Structure 1
Amino acid sequence: MERTLSRVLIGNYSELPERLGKTVIIGDKEIAVFKLANGKIRAIENRCPHKGGVLAEGMVSGEHIFCPMHNWKINVNNGQAQAPDEGCVGTYQVEVKNNSVYVLV
């Protein structure tokens, strides 16, 4: 059976801080949302696969977030930890329409 995704409004594009994370709670999911330096918005699970660090509090560099606990480097496009570290976080599709930012869950 195919699941239908819900579009959840999380804020205005112009109000999202660039290269800083924002924590968003949608149901039982905690999501880290980032506006990258290139203007793209990315949304990932807000827990590092290593020790559960809060990724929204990490440093953004290009298309990666560095976990604030142990500096693991996570790709915000696919959720993969950079080698030699191993692990992955969930990623979420994002839509921007008329300055409104939606996460699909």
Structure 2
Amino acid sequence: MNMTQTFYQAGTLDEFLSRIGRVIILEGQEIAVFRTSDDHVFALENRNPHPKGGPIAEGIVSGHILYDPLYDWQIDLSTGMVQAPDEGQVRTFPVKVEQGMVWIGL
């Protein structure tokens, strides 16, 4: 099965403020994009893995961890894994930054 990814332009790096989540829609999917203070960019499905669900874009970024204020969960931005003692995972998307443009792979 061929699983090629298509990268979509999400905007310029400057459009993504450091440590502030921003929601974009690509191919009908709601994606939360986070830029860390060290200028790494991460893209995760904007869906909380908590049983009650909800968005994750409102989370607080510290380092490469997203702190979810709603459920007090911590999510690793690079893997989407919820940190112990809680468990779950958020779908992540590959990101590349080229010449000041942010691209997200679906």
Q: Same fold (TM over 0.5)?
A: yes
Q: Which residue of 1 aligns with 2:98?
A: 97
Query: What is the alpha-carbon root mean square deviation over aligned residues?
Result: 1.0
Shift of 1:67: 1.7
Unaligned runs of 5+ in 2: none
Question: What is the TM-score with the length of structure 1 in the denominator?
Answer: 0.94
Shift of 1:31: 0.9
Q: Distance in 2 between matches of 1:71 and 1:56?
A: 14
CA contact (8 A) 1:92 1:104 kept: yes
Amino acid at match of 2:55: V
1:36 aligns with 2:42: no
Q: Which residue of 2 aligns with 1:56?
A: 57
Would you identify which runs of 4 or more consecutive aligned residues in structure 1 move more than 4 Å? none
Unaligned runs of 5+ in 1: none
Q: Distance in 1 between matches of 2:70 and 2:19?
A: 18
Question: What is the TM-score with the length of structure 2 in the denominator?
Answer: 0.93
Q: Which residue of 2 aligns with 1:73?
A: 74
Percent identical? 40
